[in-house]
Structure formats: C-alpha cells, structure tokens
Amino acid sequence: MQQNISPDPTTSRPAGLLRRFGAMFYDGLILFAIIICAHLPLQVFLGTAVILPGDTWHTAYQGYLLGVCFLYFGWCWTHGGQTLGMRTWRIYLRNKGNGDLSWGQSLIRFLCAILSWSVFGAGFLWALVDRERMTWHDRLSGTVLMFIPR
C-alpha cells in the first residue's frame, strides 16, 4: 500500500479549487461504497431496504450515516492528513502549525464543510477570491489544504 506523501512546507502551496473538487469526487465514490456497507446491517436489523422520511427510524438513520461519513474523514484527517482521494490528487491537510488535525478540528471542519455546501457551495467558491485560497471551513477550523508538487 502506498504511504502518505511526505509534505514539505517549504515546497507546498495552497490547493486549488479544481484539485479539491477532484479529491471530493474520488472520496464521494469511496463514501458511496462505505455507505452501502453501513446500510446493510440496518437493512437486516430493520427488515426494510428503504427508510422513508416518515419512518420512526429516519432521523436516527440519517444521523448514523452522517456519523459514518465523519468517521471516514475524521480518521483520515487525524492519521496523516489525507483521504484516499486527497492522496490521488496530491493534497494534504494540516493545522495552522503544520501538525496533524485533532478530532475536534476534524469535526469542526466536517460540519463547516456541510455549511459551505448548504449555501450553494459559496464556502468553497470563496477560495477563488481568498488571497490564501482558503475556504470557509479552512478558516473556521484553523486548517490548511496544501498541494504537494512532484
């Protein structure tokens, strides 16, 4: 298995928006598979393939899937700063002191990224006008997403 790419703060630069979207696409494919695997035990337990908005378990189910998504991102971000999609696109995540993220920072970043999407992606598009190419969730969580040149 490929090891994490060693980030060098002297040669790294902020990750661009297209690179971020590329990593998000790859991670979206991975999350799709993870969510299917996370859904299967519930399907057996509840005896239904679909949990509709009016069902008793709907809110708990949505929270469960959100938690599964956070565990994927949180684990990757706190253990090397890269998801599989980020590795492919040669980007990594660090806190402002160039260290690994804490679980608290990961949670703030995850929730703020949801907020960034919920306003029609404005939090992501902010990187186009920001001097340091930072998104809202970068700023709010005290993290930086960097590109590692070859």
Maximal C-alpha separation, the chain: 55
89 pLDDT above the threshold of 50: yes
Interval 76-101 mean pLDDT? 95
CA distances from 20 to 17, 48, 52, 118, 150 (A): 5, 36, 32, 17, 17
H or E element in which residue 80 lies? none
Pair 86, 19: CB distance under 8 Å: no
The pair phi, psi for residue 98, each rounded to 5°, is 65, 25
Predicted local distance difference test score (pLDDT) of residue 18: 95
In the chain, the percentage of residues whose pLDDT exceeds 70 is: 93
Q: Assign 100 a pLDDT band (cuts: 50, 70, 90).
A: very high
51 pLDDT above the threshold of 80: no
Closest CA to 147 of 1, 4, 6, 16: 16
What CA–CA distance (Å, rounded) separates 148 from 150? 7
Predicted local distance difference test score (pLDDT) of residue 54: 84
What CA–CA distance (Å, rounded) separates 57 from 55? 6
Predicted local distance difference test score (pLDDT) of residue 1: 44
Please report, to the nearest 10 degrees, the dihedral formed by the alpha carbons of residues 111, 131, 11, 81 taken in order. Answer: 0
Predicted local distance difference test score (pLDDT) of residue 8: 64
DSSP state of 128: G
Predicted local distance difference test score (pLDDT) of residue 7: 62
134 pLDDT above the threshold of 60: yes
pTM (predicted TM-score):
0.88
The pair phi, psi for residue 146, each rounded to 5°, is -115, 150
Q: Assign 44 a pLDDT band (cuts: 50, 70, 90).
A: confident
